[in-house]
Chains A and B, each alone.
Chain A
Amino acid sequence: MTPAGRDVWVHVEHLNGKVAGHTYELLGKGREIADALSGRLTAVLIGGGIQPLAETLAADGVLCVDDAGLADATPGSHAAVVKALAEKEGPHALLLGATSMGMDLACLLAAALERPLMVNCVNLQVGDGRLVATCQMCGGKLLCEAEADGPAVVTVVPGSFPAEAGVAKGAPPIEAVPLPADLGAVRTRAVRMIEPEPGDVDITKSSVLVAVGRGIQRQDNIPLAEELAGILGGTVCASRPVVDQGWLPLPRQVGKSGMIVKPKLYLALGISGAPEHTEGMKDSDLIIAVNSDAKAPIFDVADYGVVIDMYDLIPALTQALQARRA
């Protein structure tokens, strides 16, 4: 195990030249944790041509590895760099987003540094000098409080903490570090970015979304949702399993690996409300959820809920809306 001090490190995630919103949430929480540990808060910023991003990060310091070789980074190259940085004196807490990049990196680093890992954390505290994380499990149906006896790596679900506290008021001190690892030894190489296929509708621009989940059961049932969306002047979108089945195209997917939407109305039909889904829609103005399971976590983010088999409700709702329009 590498030696650890009392500091808190936050891995800064960025895509297309912008810092990801959850990084500020981690910095805000990281401040509290660092204060409780009497340590420093360090933002770890890695990439190619990214040093200007450092100015927005609220931290005691920014460890910045800006190298052209890191311009198209893979989890493997980031892991090699953070590992080398941590080898001298690693942090007590290394915080990453529970995101595509953060999940990969957290596992690689926890293994390489022989640190315990706690994933999908939604709350984080220090008790008796230990990190105590509350982690989401079972699609949001269960929480687990766990603690690490010593330095640890934690992935945090985006949206768990306010972002404001993590946005820098003044520029933080930046420590530029030359590339500390041999990227030639990294056996993953970024080839290209693939942008979402255009052509279909842009669900982020729709003010009314009728969202269907696995509860829709069959592709043949999608037209029922489309009819409803049509009357409301909205668009049909979906959770991941519906897209995985090929019933709706990928640009219609809402959530962690899909789109982030904030419509005036989000009508969720047969969606359980897994954290990966709610991440993409919980800031909608009005959320109405229809689910046959009264314990579905979607009711924790919805404004209004209906426990019913959607097929008992959809005809009545379609009819009532049609009558309202006539």
Chain B
Amino acid sequence: MRIAVLLNMVPDLVEELEIDSTGKALDTQWMRYVISESDDHALEQALLLKDRHGASVSVLALDYGDADQVLFAALARGADEAVKLTGIPESGLGKRAAAATFKEALGEVGADLILTGVQAIDDLDGHVAGMLGGLAGMPYVGVTRSVEPSGDGKVLVQKEYPGGVAAEIEVTLPAVIGVLSAPQPPRYVPVARIRDVKKTRTLDEREAAAVTVPAQPTIIRMFMPEPAEHAQMLEGSPEELAEQIVKILDDRGLTS
């Protein structure tokens, strides 16, 4: 099986977010990017399939944010090939354009199974996984927690629904799967190993195809939420805070 994994970089929420002077976008100047969490799981899912059933794993990323770091880390974790799609604006692309760009690149790379995260925290005009499925005319299932081969060009996936219920769905390849979680946490590789990989391996750089996106929403403004209600904040030393919490619970009969 030939697996392609699409890796997207998103703002690191550990850092402060700032809106730029246009009021319509995040200020990317000081922004730290990290791999989108569910893409990290998609890569783990691909590597598990490789370990257990044999597969080649190609990873693809658009060249913005910290694409090199993310791609080298993926090679260090066990991916066979890393493709960087160049000529991307510094702030990245909308999700529909990203999906269309990946679609063109996948035509060259070739894959039976395309895995990527089901959702990224900066999604607005779609989710890359589902848009790619739709644009490529391939079967698509998202919000999965497990992908297993089931013989004759098919995979069995578990798709999560609310309330802890999941559906087992058989999907005919070639297909796109939007991963929520891999069956086990993403594997860790030491930073030294990534450093080694940077010295010994190279990224396959390819010019991204120009794509046109027919229908795009227009951003009016971005802003921080100013909720009507906010928690009453407690203050003091840990002991004083503990006392205040006990009092609140006492008043509601929750300590007895």
Q: Which A positions have Cβ atoms within 8 angstroms of B?
A: 1, 15-16, 20, 72, 74-76, 79, 99-101, 103-104, 106-112, 114-120, 132-133, 135, 137-150, 152, 186-196, 208, 232, 240-241, 244-246, 250-251, 253, 256-260, 264-265, 272, 285-289, 295, 297, 299-308, 312-313, 315-317, 319-321, 324-325
CB of A146 within 8 A of CB of B126, answer: no
Once A117-B96, A138-B121, A246-B184 are accepted as A-B contacts, the answer to whether A257 and B168 lie under 8 Å apart by CB is: no
Q: Which residue of A lies closest to B174 (CB)?
A: A187
Partner of B140, one of A104, A145, A324: A104
Q: Which of B54-62, B71-79, B194-202, B248-256 contacts A (4 or more CB under 8 A)?
A: B248-256
A190-B169 CB under 8 A given contacts A110-B131, A145-B219: yes
Kindly list chain A residues whose C-beta atoms are within 8 Å of the C-beta of B214: 1, 114
Selected contact of B217 from candidates A103, A118, A321, CB within 8 Å: A118
Contacts of A313 in B (CB 8 A): 238, 241-242
Do residues A132 and B220 form an inter-chain contact, with CB atoms below 8 A?
Answer: yes
CB distance from A306 to the nearest CB of B (A): 5
Specify the chain A residue showing the minimal Cβ separation from B214: A114
With A and B bound together, what is the CA distance between A240 and B221 in angstroms? 30
A192:B168 contact, CB within 8 angstroms: yes
Pairs A–B under 8 Å by Cβ, sample size 30: A74-B167, A103-B118, A103-B142, A107-B126, A111-B96, A115-B215, A119-B127, A141-B13, A142-B26, A148-B217, A188-B139, A188-B141, A188-B170, A188-B171, A191-B167, A193-B166, A196-B163, A232-B255, A244-B185, A257-B160, A257-B164, A259-B164, A260-B163, A272-B13, A299-B230, A300-B230, A308-B241, A313-B241, A320-B239, A324-B255
| Known contacts A137-B122, A251-B164; is-contact A304 B215 (Cβ 8 Å) | no
Interface residue from A15, A108, A190, A324 paired with B168 (Cβ < 8 Å): A190
Contact A1/B215 with A100-B159, A320-B243, A320-B246 known, Cβ cut-off 8 Å:
yes
Q: Which residues of B contact A (CB under 8 A)?
A: 11, 13, 16-17, 26, 37, 41, 96, 99, 118-119, 121-127, 129-131, 133-135, 139-143, 156, 158-172, 175, 178, 180-181, 184-185, 214-225, 227, 229-234, 238-239, 241-243, 245-246, 248-250, 252, 254-255
Given contacts A75-B142, A143-B225, contact A117 B126 (CB under 8 A): yes
Q: A107-B129, A117-B96, A187-B172 are in contact. Are A305 and B234 (CB under 8 A)?
A: yes
Q: Contacts A257-B180, A320-B243 given: A196-B165 contact, CB under 8 Å?
A: yes
Q: How many A-B residue pairs have CB under 8 A?
A: 286
* Residue pair A258, B125 in contact (C-beta under 8 Å): no
With a CB–CB cut-off of 8 A, which chain B residues contact A194? Answer: 158, 165-168
Which residue of A74, A108, A316 is within 8 Å of B169 (Cβ)? A74
How many angstroms from the CA of A116 to the CA of B96 in the assembled complex? 9
Does more than half of chain A's interface fall in helix, strand or loop, or is it mixed?
mixed
Q: Which 7 A-B pairs have the closest CB atoms?
A: A107-B130, A111-B134, A196-B164, A305-B231, A187-B172, A302-B231, A320-B242
Instruction: List chain A residues, Cβ under 8 A from B13.
Output: 138-139, 141, 272
**Cα A191 to Cα B41 with chains together (Å):** 24
Point out the residues of chain A lying under 8 angstroms from B133, CB to CB: 107-108, 111
Distance (whole angstroms) from the CB of A323 to the closest CB of chain B: 8
Given A108-B140, A246-B184, A258-B164, is A137 in contact with B239 using a C-beta cutoff of 8 Å? Answer: no
A125 CB, min distance to chain B CBs, angstroms: 11
CB distance from A129 to the nearest CB of B (A): 14
Residue of A nearest to B14 (CB): A293
* Shortest CB distance A15–B (Å): 6
Q: Shortest Cβ distance from B65 into chain A, in angstroms? A: 15
Q: Once the chains are docked, how many angstroms separate the CA of A108 from the CA of B142?
A: 11
CA distance A118 to B217 in the complex (A): 7
**Beta-carbon contact of B254 and A146 below 8 Å:** no
Q: Which among A109, A132, A308 has the greatest number of chain B C-beta atoms within 10 A? A: A308
Instruction: Give every chain A residue within 8 A of B163 (Cβ-Cβ).
Output: 15, 196, 258-260
A316 pairs with B140, CB closer than 8 A? no
Known: A139-B13, A313-B242, A316-B238. A324 touches B125 (CB 8 A): no
Chain B contacts of A148 at CB under 8 A?
A: 215, 217-218
CB–CB B246/A257 < 8 A: no
Would A304 and B96 count as touching, CB distance under 8 A? no
Q: Shortest distance in angstroms between A234's beta carbon and chain B's nearest beta carbon?
A: 9
Q: How far is the CA of A226 from the CA of B96 in the complex (A)?
A: 44
Alpha-carbon gap, A111 to B242, bound state (A): 53
Of B121, B133, B242, chain A has the most CB atoms within 10 Å of the CB of B242
The residues of A that contact B121 with a CB separation of less than 8 Å are: 137-139
Q: Are A106 and B130 in contact (CB under 8 A)?
A: yes
Alpha-carbon separation in the docked complex, A1 to B213 (Å):
12
Name the CB-closest residue of A to B234: A306
Query: What is the distance, in angstroms, from B220's C-beta to the closest C-beta of chain A?
Result: 4
| Residue contact B224 to A250, C-beta cutoff 8 Å | no
